[in-house]
Structure 1
Amino acid sequence: MPGRKSAACEAAERDADLKFCEWIEARWQTTGLAFGTRGWAYVCENEGFIAKGEFAAFEAWLGRVRKEGLLNPDAVADDDARRAEHGEFVDEDDPEDYAAEALDRANAWLSIYSPVSIWEGLSTYVEVLVEKVDLKVLFGRVCSRYRVPLTNGKGSSDINSRRRMLQRYRAHAEAGRNLVLLYFGDHDPAGLDIARVIKSNLLECANIRDVNFDPSPIMVVRLGLTVDQIGALDLPWINNLQTGSKRNLSDPRHPDHRKPYVQNYIATHGSRKVEANALARNPAAAQELIERAINQYIPRYWPAFHADRLARHREAAHEAFAALIARTVGGAP
């Protein structure tokens, strides 16, 4: 039939797909970073495998090779909002192995016993808000080390996300701490206007019955992306201002085109933008960037200091557990 690929051509394409998938899996396993489809596009563009104009085709290819079983699906980040919950888990039918695993899990829990807050002794409470799942992947290890809550806002985040954030901030305000929210998002009109929008979104939830907290004291700090970061990390510009609705803010017919924040952006930066996902090109630099920002409020030595002050509590927990097991085995009340 005209236009049909030969068997040799199809085999060559499949072999190329497999090799590309093997590279992605090796990169994922080496770094431990499973990006979303857009993040992987930036990684592969940085390696010279694809061009900027091929992002959409590459993201479609990622979907196809996962469906065909060529790529480990876990190499691509989950959309947690769509993940199923409450499914059944069936254990292996070996009581001795199960008991051994239970003991290992108990020891692991005892080793993270934390009756003292990491914020004890600090004057400022910090959270990080990002707009892309790839930034959660990039920043997660650093935020975990400092116990800094990391939220993916996805524009105007849902009410319960804001509610829980305000509850955390209220507790630290009551403890007398200063309040800081670090924001990292795209370099585009909305991304640069975000500080005003974030505060407005939080104020909308101030009167929820189990919140009742005025977020005005929260200092919103826009951490990035900045023009300096874009230049220093050689991040690629996209020559349009297309939004999630696929409409272009630089088009006079767009309903937001004449708004001051859009006009100010175009006058300063032109009709172009940089997506925050582009940081996936350089994970080490991204992690150093967020750590430096956190270190403005939490010293770099603080996680180790906190682990040292928890050591005696964790040792006591292990001793209490051992005594409990001894009483149980010995039949003591």
Structure 2
Amino acid sequence: MRERGWEPELELDQYRRIAAVGLIAKTLPLAFVACDILEREQPLTLRGLFYLIVSEGWLPSTDKQHYTRLRKLTVKLREKGVVPFEWFVDHVRATLKLSSWSGLADYVDTVKDAYRKNFWASLSDYVHVFVEKDAMAGVLEPVTRDYDVPLSVIRGNISLSFAYEIAQLWKRFEKPVFAYYFGDHDPSGLDLERDLQAKLRRYGAPDFTWERLGVCPTDFETFNLFPLEPKKTDSRMKRFLAQGYTKCAELDAIPATALRARLERAINEHIPAEEWERLRRIEELERQQWEGVMRKFGKKVAAG
């Protein structure tokens, strides 16, 4: 692997576990590289892992046959316990069920961790993040969850209700609104972004500052992205070419850690460091007080 310019990142025992899975010899280097990248970039999508491996030269192209080969390999690595299932994100499939608890003590443990103080209520800006694809929401969510920032998923089209509800939400804030967008760099991805901004303004959103954080034209060189050809059948092709673009790339192709770091930097521009820490301390005190109240209530109920 070093002969091909790859510097192994895992411990020797980890490579031994991968080798013990029972892969054929020609697949072992691909498995090693995949696990190296997963360890560094998780959580990420399977497509994101695929693009990183192609850009590093360990798969020859983005053809479907190579994606299928990687998919089958990662299934085996997960089922054999080499790769944690949690390292891959999949927000498309979900299980719906109302919350329930085994008793009040169980409920108290849940709600004390669920309490979040709205730090942004006392900050001078409002921040909202948009992402084009559901699967990529799982890549960004660790950051938006930590900073309590709303993350809205486009899912392929801009519905009237979606745009209207967000526009009405923004109208409630008497402060500057900053929107950050993550999407594919292709005719449909850029048009989705344009359409969203237009509908937000049409339905009464106040003035807002908009910034695309990925994929940006400079990302092709920064991350050595594998350029994809725009689909000639796409009706938005003319506008794409008129803007001076010729290359396409999916958001998944950018390393997940780079996307999260980029988003975290953007959010931190709106947060005074000392104020954020002060609010964290207040939140922890309030959480402790709430836990104490709930436990006393539970004891009273149990005592009859």
* TM exceeding 0.5: yes
Question: Percent of aligned pairs with the same residue?
Answer: 20
Structure 1 residue 240: deviation in Å? 1.3
Query: Aligned to 2:215, which of 225, 245, 248?
Result: 225
Structure 1: segments with no counterpart, 5+ residues? 1-10, 92-97, 207-213, 243-247
TM-score, with structure 2 as normaliser: 0.73
Query: What are the superposed Cα offsets for residues 233-290 of structure 1, whole Å, 9 maximum, x if unpaired?
Result: 3231415112xxxxx26xxxx6444x4x32323xx34x2223221113xx33222211
Structure 2: segments with no counterpart, 5+ residues? 1-20, 80-84
2:48 corresponds to: 39
TM-score, with structure 1 as normaliser: 0.68
SS at match of 2:152: strand
Asked if the contact 1:146–1:303 (Cα under 8 Å) also holds between the matched residues in 2, the reply is no
1:275 corresponds to: 250
Distance (Å, rounded) in 2 between the aligned partners of 1:49 and 1:22: 11
**What amino acid is aligned across from residue 322 of structure 1 in structure 2?**
R
Residues 1:43 and 1:134: Cα distance change in structure 2 (over 3 Å): farther
Structure 1 residue 104: deviation in Å? 5.1
For residues 139-288 of structure 1, the aligned pairs below 5 Å read 139-171=140-172, 173=173, 176-192=174-190, 195-202=193-200, 206=203, 214-231=204-221, 233-242=222-231, 248=232, 255-257=235-237, 259=238, 261-265=239-243, 268-269=244-245, 271-280=246-255, 283-288=256-261
Distance (Å, rounded) in 2 between the aligned partners of 1:124 and 1:309: 20
Query: What are the superposed Cα offsets for residues 217-246 of structure 1, whole Å, 9 maximum, x if unpaired?
Result: 233322333233433x3231415112xxxx
Residues 1:78 and 1:194: Cα distance change in structure 2 (over 3 Å): closer
Residues 1:264 and 1:300: Cα distance change in structure 2 (over 3 Å): farther
Query: Aligned to 1:304, which of 240, 256, 277?
Result: 277
Of structures 1 and 2, the larger Rg is shown by 1
Structure 1 residue 28: deviation in Å? 4.6
**What amino acid is aligned across from residue 224 of structure 1 in structure 2?**
G
Residues 1:194 and 1:161: Cα distance change in structure 2 (over 3 Å): closer
SS at match of 2:119: coil
Distance (Å, rounded) in 2 between the aligned partners of 1:198 and 1:216: 14
Query: Aligned to 2:69, which of 36, 48, 61?
Result: 61
Asked if the contact 2:51–2:253 (Cα under 8 Å) also holds between the matched residues in 1, the reply is yes
**What amino acid is aligned across from residue 234 of structure 1 in structure 2?**
F
1:3 corresponds to: none
Distance (Å, rounded) in 2 between the aligned partners of 1:148 and 1:109: 20
Distance (Å, rounded) in 1 between the aligned partners of 2:141 and 2:179: 16
Asked if the contact 1:237–1:272 (Cα under 8 Å) also holds between the matched residues in 2, the reply is no
Distance (Å, rounded) in 1 between the aligned partners of 2:286 and 2:178: 29
Q: How many residues align?
A: 279
Structure 1 residue 150: deviation in Å? 1.3
1:245 corresponds to: none
SS at match of 1:220: strand
Distance (Å, rounded) in 1 between the aligned partners of 2:125 and 2:259: 23
Asked if the contact 2:91–2:138 (Cα under 8 Å) also holds between the matched residues in 1, the reply is no
